[in-house]
């Protein structure tokens, strides 16, 4: 179990002015963990992840059976932050029937002709489901803020992109998430925080391993030139959209096993706190079930 005091350090309270330099992407949140050493922390994180995989599978079954709430998990981070690996390891025990992963690519022509949240609204979870946005509607305040030329000029004419434009986008996103929360969706948002040095190490590792070349794009290196711009965009976005109904969590992700353990702990704990119950069975239904049991038992 990861102590609440540690988890609370990583949850961004509404109104907080976030500066990512204040969040160590390495794992050194407490003196206790520093003293454990790297290998011990890795083993402890693996044990937490294993336990949470079992508990999350149970929580998902209850979520599906109750049909009362949906869960939307949002993963954001710079390239190579570990989003795919986090999904793979954290969600490995859940039933695929009740879980979906949605990765939002460059908008299609049809999507560009719609309001910017349209395609995301169409992908939100039904009650009983877990949906993971691997990248999300937040790309509309991140990538396009760093590269404003990607904005549709029909929607955002040249010269109209100022601070007011981005403030309105934040307001739209907050209203969108508030609407989901009011209608039974639990929203969990995670920013996987890695350092520029760690990203470089991961890129080099991919380039040195032919089996990982498919994960690398030349544009990844080009985007590194905009590192500071991306960090400012993340800071502005997290500061403006960490709300009471959908707070952000800044996850130290230089060590992958730590990030996965933390995300797993947050998700499992949050679903458990929903206090869901399995559907009740009426007396009449109990009687019918009893008859079915006796009939089966009486078969030769």
- Tokens standing for 44? 């402890």
Residue extents of the structural domains in the chain: 4-298
131 strand-pairing partners? 72, 100
pLDDT of residue 31: 44
The neighbour count for residue 181, using CB atoms within 10 Å, is: 16
Number of C-alpha atoms within 13 angstroms, CB side, residue 1? 4
Say what the pLDDT of residue 44 is. Answer: 72
pLDDT for 17: 97
Residue pair 263/251 in contact by the 8 Å Cβ criterion: yes
- For residue 296, the surrounding DSSP H or E stretch is helix 283-298
0.85 exceeded by the pTM?
Answer: yes
Q: Of 236, 133, 134, nearest to 180 (Cα)?
A: 133
pLDDT value, residue 112: 86
Sign of CA dihedral 264, 267, 268, 269: positive
Q: What confidence score (pLDDT) does residue 1 get? A: 55
Task: Give the domain 4-298 fold.
Answer: Rossmann fold (3.40.50)
Question: Residue 101 and residue 132: Cα distance in Å, rounded?
Answer: 5
pLDDT value, residue 101: 96
Side-chain half-sphere exposure of 164, counting CA atoms within 13 A: 3
Rounded-to-integer distance, Cα 104 and Cα 133, Å: 8
Q: What is the pLDDT along the chain (300 residues), one digit of tens a residue?
A: 566 667 778 899 999 999 999 999 987 544 444 444 455 667 777 777 788 788 888 989 999 999 999 999 999 999 999 999 999 999 988 888 899 999 998 888 888 889 999 999 999 999 999 999 998 999 999 999 999 888 877 666 666 788 999 999 999 999 999 999 999 999 999 999 999 999 999 999 999 988 888 878 888 889 999 999 999 999 999 999 999 999 999 999 998 888 888 898 899 889 989 989 888 878 888 888 888 989 899 998
């Amino acid at each position: 179990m990861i102590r609440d005091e540690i988890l609370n350090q990583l949850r961004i309270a509404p109104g907080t002015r976030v500066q990512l330099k204040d969040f160590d992407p390495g794992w050194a949140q407490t003196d206790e963990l520093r003293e454990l050493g790297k290998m011990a922390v890795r083993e402890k994180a693996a044990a937490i992840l294993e336990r949470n995989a079992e508990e999350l599978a149970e929580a998902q079954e209850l979520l599906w059976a109750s049909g009362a709430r949906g869960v939307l998990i949002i993963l954001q981070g710079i390239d190579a932050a570990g989003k795919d690996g986090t999904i793979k390891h954290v969600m490995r025990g859940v039933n695929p029937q009740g879980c979906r992963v949605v990765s939002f690519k460059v908008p299609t022509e049809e999507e560009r002709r719609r309001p910017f949240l349209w395609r995301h609204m169409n992908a939100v979870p039904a009650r009983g489901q877990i949906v993971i946005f691997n990248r999300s509607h937040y790309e509309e305040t991140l990538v396009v803020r760093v590269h404003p030329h990607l904005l549709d000029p029909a929607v955002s004419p040249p010269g109209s992109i100022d601070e007011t434009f981005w403030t309105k986008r934040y307001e739209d996103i907050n209203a969108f998430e508030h609407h989901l929360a009011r209608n039974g969706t639990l929203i969990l948002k995670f920013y996987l925080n890695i350092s520029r040095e760690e990203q470089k190490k991961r890129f080099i590792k991919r380039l040195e391993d032919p089996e990982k070349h498919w994960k690398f794009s030349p544009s990844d290196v080009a985007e590194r030139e905009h590192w500071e711009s991306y960090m400012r965009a993340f800071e502005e976005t997290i500061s403006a959209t960490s709300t009471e109904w959908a707070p952000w969590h800044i996850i130290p992700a230089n060590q992958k096993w730590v990030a996965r353990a933390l995300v797993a702990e947050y998700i499992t704990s949050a679903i458990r706190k929903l206090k869901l119950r399995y559907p009740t069975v009426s007396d009449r239904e109990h009687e019918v079930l009893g008859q079915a049991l006796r009939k089966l038992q009486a078969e030769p």
